[in-house]
Amino acid sequence: MRHIIFYTKENCSLCDDALATLELLRHDYPFEIEKRDIHTKDEWLEKYQLQIPVVQINDTTLNCEQISYDALEQALRKASH
């Protein structure tokens, strides 16, 4: 099963939208989501503060400007090979 790391924070509407999109894709591409609140680790906050949500699928990392249904599906498809 695929493992997705999802960098997020509380009260983030873009994060909620990205998570909803991932849930739609879960039916075709089974995976687990590991949610990481960027406020729980200084390294994550420094790295992702202006980019969240950030989705990491294997060696593909998508930030808030790159996340879309198509981009997530493509990354999931790539991860399954």
Residue 54's pLDDT is what? 98
CB atoms within 10 A of CB 1: 6
Rounded-to-integer distance, Cα 79 and Cα 75, Å: 6
pTM: 0.92
Q: What is the pLDDT along the chain (81 residues), one digit of tens a residue?
A: 789 999 999 999 999 999 999 999 999 999 999 999 999 999 999 999 999 999 999 999 999 999 999 999 999 999 887
SS3 31: strand
Tell me what pLDDT residue 80 has.
80
pLDDT at site 81: 74
All domains of the chain in start order, with CATH: 2-79 (3.40.30.10)
